[in-house]
Structure 1
Amino acid sequence: MTKSQWECFLQNLGVWEGSFTNFSPQGTFLKDTPSRLSLEHLNHNQRVRLTLNRLGQDLIREFSSVGGGLLFFETGSFSEGVIQLGPFSEFGAEFALVHENRRLRLVQLFDKTGQLKELILIREHLAGTPVPERPTLQINDLLGEWQGQAVTIYPDWRSPDTYSTTLKLQLDGAGRLIQNTSFRDRTITSTATIKDSIILFDQEPEKQIQVLMLPDGASATSPLKVQLRQPLFLEVGWLIEPNLRQRMIRSYNEKGEWVSLTLVTEERV
């Protein structure tokens, strides 16, 4: 990676206008709060001040470095979250995908019993720029074959990995979704049921994984329950254009340790 983590962070400078939309774990709309987030540099880019205004109140944070549970890609896209899953502790992560004048952020939160508790979808654009928002994601938006490039970065700062990916999504005669994912030398096939805005991968009842289709072409993938001593991943997807999609995946090992962050940019062929 040629840019430092700090330089990648600076890709997010500006004033971002949008809203925070809360959803239940089943995708039920709960509330929407307008927001304005300013990221401005101080001291010749040595510090960054973040000012978030919601409901007339300002939250202010200042940064002179980034790290901990936070990693950035060269596009400015990032994820921040828990670095170690523990018993009886809340768990969750935020994802942010940056494309031109827009950002799509998603927060996934789990309660102390490991159950998915809430999702917050944050749709933002740079102040003063047009905001063509995508419609709510539908299953037909995803069907077909997607070929992509993935970049995986690591919390221990080792060199990033870059590799090709293929994702094939089709419906069988019974209306179940069949998904084939290929990357490196692996191919994984899984099936899911589709009901309204929920895609549920339910072959293993104790390891059910849900994909929630959300406004602005967004999707949120997570286990319905996070379990100790089992590897897991959280993912956000964004259909930026009808045949262009990005996904970000935050992976944890069987010890509950955060081990990698992957950004996939894929096009439908």
Structure 2
Amino acid sequence: MGSQWENFLCNLGEWRGSFTGVSAAGELLESTPSILSLESDEDDRLVRFRLRRFGPEGYDAEPIHDMAQDYRSLGRQVVFFDNGTFCKGTLQVSPGSEFGAEFGFVDGDRRHRLVQLHHSDGSYKQAVLIREFRSGTDACEQPFCSPASLTGEWQGEAATISADWPEPTRSQSSFRVSLTAASSLQMNSVVGSEAIDRSITLQNDRLGIVPGEQTSTLQWLPDGGFLIRPDRVTHRQSFVVEAGWLPSPDRLIRLIRRYDASGAWQSATQVIATRS
């Protein structure tokens, strides 16, 4: 197990991609091309970050947004796993403050990132999907995620990092997805001793409703991604946010971020699974 910093270094390189807004209804909004670079210096003790975003003219024009930052350390709000995959977000949900979480998946020459945003009253706002490809490679985008993409039995290993202990706890994980009717999907997830069963009513090819004490929504995404998020977050009730990505048809990476009943970030889990 590498250190958080060593895991961060798995993201080094130049990544070309795009930022695409995704509405609460699952509609794809405006998309802007991007180039993100992470370069190491001082024997890997320093990482130089630069993000350029471009207008409709694309990469050949001057960027409409150019931001640079140097990193020598990492904050508590972000955790990195062995393969460079990471999860970060708000540490404490509080009244009148916006809530956000980012899920960053890494696999070879691909990165698939998703930012989840909520308004200051806790209601869901939108997501931003970031599809990135290592410059100079032939890495390609995955198909739009769907119930058929996930249906089946998945087995793998989970690594959980808690808010008060940076070393991961490892456990076995299983994930079963089945269509129980034309518009009904069952998801059964086991991570260590934690089991979550979800009965999802599919609304269309973009959304599903997850009923319960706190209603959540499943969003299907381009590039083999999906998001399960509460329709509202609050500091008075525990909740879970989850994103997943299929870097290939039979390989699944899930990121799960948990908040307790006071709205405090509790832990983050990465699950890497293959279809049985």
Q: Which runs of 5+ in 1 are unaligned?
A: none
User: Of 126, 129, 137, which residue of structure 2 is paired with 1:129?
Assistant: 137
* Partner deviation per Cα, 1:172-216 (whole Å, 9 max, x = no partner): 2463112222232344332110022112111x2x51111100000
Cα distance in structure 2, aligned partners of 1:122 and 1:259: 25
Cα distance in structure 2, aligned partners of 1:251 and 1:186: 12
RMSD: 1.4
1:230 aligns with 2:230: no
* Partner deviation per Cα, 1:104-144 (whole Å, 9 max, x = no partner): 10000000111110100001011000122111111111111
Give the counterpart letter for 1:16 in structure 2.
W
What's 2:258 paired with? 251
Number of residue equivalences: 266
Contact 1:71/1:155 (8 A) holds in 2: no
- The answer to which of 169-178 and 89-98 deviates more is 169-178
User: Of 148, 151, 159, which residue of structure 2 is paired with 1:151?
Assistant: 159
1:154 deviates by 2.0
User: Of 66, 71, 81, which residue of structure 2 is paired with 1:73?
Assistant: 81
Cα distance in structure 2, aligned partners of 1:38 and 1:183: 34
Contact 2:245/2:253 (8 A) holds in 1: yes
Secondary structure in 2 aligned to 1:159?
strand
Give the counterpart letter for 1:32 in structure 2.
S
Contact 1:82/1:92 (8 A) holds in 2: yes
Runs of 4+ in 1 over 3 A off after TM superposition: 185-188
Contact 1:86/1:256 (8 A) holds in 2: yes
What's 1:166 paired with? 174
1:217 deviates by 0.4
Cα distance change, pair 102–117 in 1 and its aligned pair in 2 (3 A): same
- The answer to which of 133-142 and 183-192 deviates more is 183-192
1:181 aligns with 2:173: no
* Partner deviation per Cα, 1:17-72 (whole Å, 9 max, x = no partner): 10001111111111110000011112222211101000203101111111220111
Q: Which runs of 5+ in 2 are unaligned?
A: 55-62
Cα distance in structure 1, aligned partners of 2:275 and 2:269: 19
Give the counterpart letter for 2:53 in structure 1.
R
Contact 2:94/2:234 (8 A) holds in 1: no
TM-score, normalised relative to structure 2: 0.92
1:100 deviates by 0.5
What's 1:199 paired with? 208
Cα distance change, pair 214–152 in 1 and its aligned pair in 2 (3 A): same
Identity %: 39
Cα distance in structure 2, aligned partners of 1:247 and 1:142: 12
Cα distance in structure 2, aligned partners of 1:221 and 1:61: 31
TM-score, normalised relative to structure 1: 0.95
1:254 deviates by 0.7
